[in-house]
Structure 1
């Protein structure tokens, strides 16, 4: 028989003899402290379970964070072409529209600054507005007709697009009104019968012209504010 087999046999025999003497003591100790041992086992099991749960939660949080980063990177990549197109559409157009708005800042004071004359107050008001601000309304048309601006219009939200459409319509009507009045303001220009008809119906014409001019003045700051909101919105989506 091999030596390690003999050693194993001896160890088993000695263990059996010791168990005969120790087991009653061990059994009595277990019986005495059974409640404590059970409680400690329960606490240990709970601690182990909590540790496993915390580890699982940390893994899930890291996974969610990584997924969120990948999602934002994907969105950013997808939005980058649109963002560049919007940026070209808005700049320097916003700044140019702001400058035009500044040039129009005293529009509502025209009535108190009218030069004396034989014509009616309404006639002189429209004449002064035409002379002062016709170039400003021309500038509005030029800015809104720029190719880089028109290419980005499809990316604007509905409110911005509505303000833009209304401003273009009102501004075109304003330019037509101011041009017509400037042509009729000189008694020696144009067709006599046409000017006579204009003068005769001027009260009605004035109300119509005054409406489209003031509507244009009100829409310009609304469009600027909406374009600035669009700019901020795309910047937030990219960040």
Structure 2
């Protein structure tokens, strides 16, 4: 029993006993006390009613206290779960995302050079870069579909949500460019000979986003670290 609550239970019991005695004696005016009680029964009944009301209020307050305590416990459990989610996202998941973004930086540089020149690049190196570039989307997709990332998203605030959305859009641009970028560059001949109007339009639309994947991921990483720090 909660400390102090036994007093309230004892008071409730005494009021019940007093009420029983009052009712019994009020029905029997033969005794001296019964006569006195009969004379003052209205006042006594009022006092008992006030006492009963006070006990009822105290009982309700005790119930409210218990509910509030339970609510606080649930909130603490929820915060503990949120804390574990954010710290795991930062300490485990985020390293994979950043490592993948860093891994495609050389490929992005090679492709970017090829989109700006006609002959000043190695077709072999470009082929390797395009292969790594195309495959990176599926690696990113695997990382972003991790249930841990999905569980953490509701904990993001405005800036973090914006950073996550921009990062997702940049990574999605890699997929949009897979075919059109190959047609635009036409690996063995360079952009001057492999130019297709629709491919060029797609490259113009998405290449800036795809080229910015490392920066977008770093921005998201900074936001995740900031939020995770709030839970420490």
Q: Normalized against structure 2, the TM-score is what?
A: 0.51
Matched, 1:86 2:89: no
CA distance in 2, matches of 1:133, 1:87: 30
Cα deviation, residue 113, structure 1: 7.4
User: Are the structure 2 counterparts of residues 77 and 204 from structure 1 closer, same or farther at C-alpha, using a change threshold of 3 Å?
Assistant: closer
CA distance in 2, matches of 1:110, 1:197: 17
- Aligned pairs for 1:1-239 (under 5 A) are 79-107=79-107, 109-110=109-110, 129-182=129-182, 185=186, 199-235=196-232
- Segments of structure 1 that go 5 or more residues without pairing to the other structure are 1-72, 188-195
Cα deviation, residue 90, structure 1: 3.7
Cα deviation, residue 126, structure 1: 7.7
User: Are the structure 2 counterparts of residues 197 and 107 from structure 1 closer, same or farther at C-alpha, using a change threshold of 3 Å?
Assistant: closer
Count matched residues.
Answer: 153
In structure 2, the residue matched to 1:47 is none
CA contact (8 A) 1:86 1:152 kept: yes
CA distance in 1, matches of 2:112, 2:158: 38
Q: Deviations over 1:41-75 (max 9, x none)?
A: xxxxxxxxxxxxxxxxxxxxxxxxxxxxxxxx998
CA distance in 2, matches of 1:111, 1:172: 17
User: Are the structure 2 counterparts of residues 217 and 89 from structure 1 closer, same or farther at C-alpha, using a change threshold of 3 Å?
Assistant: closer
- Segments of structure 2 that go 5 or more residues without pairing to the other structure are 1-72
Q: Deviations over 1:188-213 (max 9, x none)?
A: xxxxxxxx997244443332232221
CA contact (8 A) 1:94 1:228 kept: no
CA distance in 1, matches of 2:79, 2:106: 41
User: Are the structure 2 counterparts of residues 144 and 91 from structure 1 closer, same or farther at C-alpha, using a change threshold of 3 Å?
Assistant: farther
User: Are the structure 2 counterparts of residues 231 and 77 from structure 1 closer, same or farther at C-alpha, using a change threshold of 3 Å?
Assistant: same
User: Are the structure 2 counterparts of residues 113 and 174 from structure 1 closer, same or farther at C-alpha, using a change threshold of 3 Å?
Assistant: closer
Q: Normalized against structure 1, the TM-score is what?
A: 0.50
Q: Deviations over 1:158-205 (max 9, x none)?
A: 211111112112211221212443477489xxxxxxxx9972444433
CA distance in 1, matches of 2:151, 2:77: 20
CA distance in 2, matches of 1:138, 1:233: 32
Cα deviation, residue 80, structure 1: 0.8
CA distance in 2, matches of 1:150, 1:112: 32
Cα deviation, residue 111, structure 1: 5.9
